[in-house]
A = this chain, B = another copy of it.
């Protein structure tokens, strides 16, 4: 059994797995729940600024909620400390999370604290959306325009999760996900889940100083990738550019072309290591 087969096997064990968050029907709403590990030497280095690390650790989960047009409510932090991560570091790590959480209305509600050899954090975010209103990645339709927010491939110390944009796209986008692993792999996933193909035939919004390859394959952009009816045009959202980059077409599920050439999913894959 390969690692990818294992991931598939795990997915089949549970329900609601496949989108950025689990969708849990609950009364008149859906709870959106996402959990992300943030591990020393895998996702970050001990030498990085603790406030930025706290920000990044929480940004991932908030971005998952944003991708589904959810309103973040609470987050939980499980943190295993190492020898080097002293209380002063921990406080700054929490401060980074608090500042970002406060900005988006997410409240720290609990967690666990332990010790181990390397710092390991697991951040869980709970959000909500009205029943059946959460955006998914499996609902793109042939003919839809493909859009991205912001600029791609720039590496930011404190990427901004697009919570407010996600809420604004409710009822307007046909499918949505966040760019956490890179456009080429994330668009591939959206297309595969929606059983459609994609044509990228318009200039990408490449971040200043970034290459096309970085715009396609660098992770942690946390911009939103969404589809919408072909006729719909989007203006910048509160100063944030929204750029149409292509069109959803019929074809092999997950297939992509970039200016006429086949594009392979080449982004960061946690299991291709």
Q: Are B87 and A3 in contact (CB under 8 A)?
A: yes
Q: A110 in the interface, Cβ–Cβ < 8 Å?
A: yes
A contact residues, range: 35 or more
Interface set, chain A 40-77, CB cutoff 8 A to B? 41-43, 73-74, 76
| Among candidates B1, B107, B111, residue contacting A88 with C-beta atoms closer than 8 Å | B1
| Among candidates B3, B10, B107, residue contacting A111 with C-beta atoms closer than 8 Å | B10
Interface set, chain A 125-182, CB cutoff 8 A to B? 126
Q: A94 in the interface, Cβ–Cβ < 8 Å?
A: yes
Q: A14 in the interface, Cβ–Cβ < 8 Å?
A: yes
Q: Are B114 and A270 in contact (CB under 8 A)?
A: yes
Q: A115 in the interface, Cβ–Cβ < 8 Å?
A: yes
Q: Are B122 and A14 in contact (CB under 8 A)?
A: no
Q: Are B35 and A76 in contact (CB under 8 A)?
A: yes
A1-42 CB mask vs B (1 if < 8 Å, else 0) is: 111011101100111110001101011110101111101011
- Note all chain B residues with C-beta closer than 8 A to A114: 37, 39, 42-43, 270
Please name 8 further chain A to chain B contacts, defined as beta carbons within 8 Å, in addition to the given A17-B109, A126-B126, sorted by A numbering.
A3-B87, A10-B111, A22-B74, A22-B76, A24-B74, A37-B112, A115-B273, A122-B122
Known contacts A27-B28, A116-B118; decide if A14 and B273 are in contact (CB<8 Å).
no
- Note all chain B residues with C-beta closer than 8 A to A245: none
